[in-house]
Amino acid sequence: MSARTKARKRALDLLYAADLRQMPVEQLLAAEAERAVNEPERQASWLYAREIVDGVVDHRDEIDEVITTNSRGWTLERMPAVDRALLRIGVWEILYNDEVPDAVAISEAVEAATVLSTDDSAGFVNGLLAAISHSKG
């Protein structure tokens, strides 16, 4: 598993936990940063995980608006929490991180949805992120 894949998983864990606990992700980031300092082998994935989470937090309103606009018939609240977190990461990578090709962002999100979410989630995540990628112009 690449360092970026591990970072996405760590970012997913943080965003998912904050969503479920209904708490600010910044509180979880502080604890995770402390763990990263004490575990040097986690340092490489921690830097990108932090970049993802900070990016999602910084652009949360815009990201949620893009998801809502493109998910016909589905509100954010109706989506499984893991799908919301995966979509937020994927949209951030597609719209705000030029270092990651859209196809990679979509593929990583779909793979995570396949493993971690419902039977229908991978197709939903794929379709939604692909539509967002195509519409960004």
Q: What is the pLDDT of residue 47?
A: 87
Tell me the whole-structure pTM to 2 decimals. Answer: 0.93
- Split into its structural domains, the chain has a count of 1
pLDDT band at 122 (very low <50, low <70, confident <90, very high): very high
Length of the chain: 137
Domain residues for the domain of 66 are 3-135
pLDDT band at 60 (very low <50, low <70, confident <90, very high): very high
Q: What is the mean pLDDT of the chain?
A: 92
User: The domain that contains 105 carries what CATH number?
Assistant: 1.10.940.10
How much is the average pLDDT of 35-53?
82
Share of the chain above pLDDT 90, in %: 74
**pLDDT higher than threshold 70 for residue 137:** no
Q: How confident is the model at residue 45 (pLDDT cuts 50, 70, 90)?
A: confident
Find the distance separating the first CA and the last CA of the chain, reported in whole Å: 31
Give the separation between CA 61 and CA 103, rounded to whole angstroms: 23
Cα–Cα distance measured from residue 134 to residue 137, given in angstroms and rounded to the nearest whole number? 6
Q: Which residues contact 81 (CB under 8 A, 6 or more apart)?
A: 16, 19, 20
Q: Are 122 and 113 in contact (CB under 8 A)?
A: yes
In this predicted model, what pLDDT tens digit does every residue of 62-100 receive, in sequence order? 999 999 999 988 899 999 999 999 999 999 999 999 999
pLDDT score of 131: 96
Residues 19-29: what's their mean pLDDT? Answer: 88
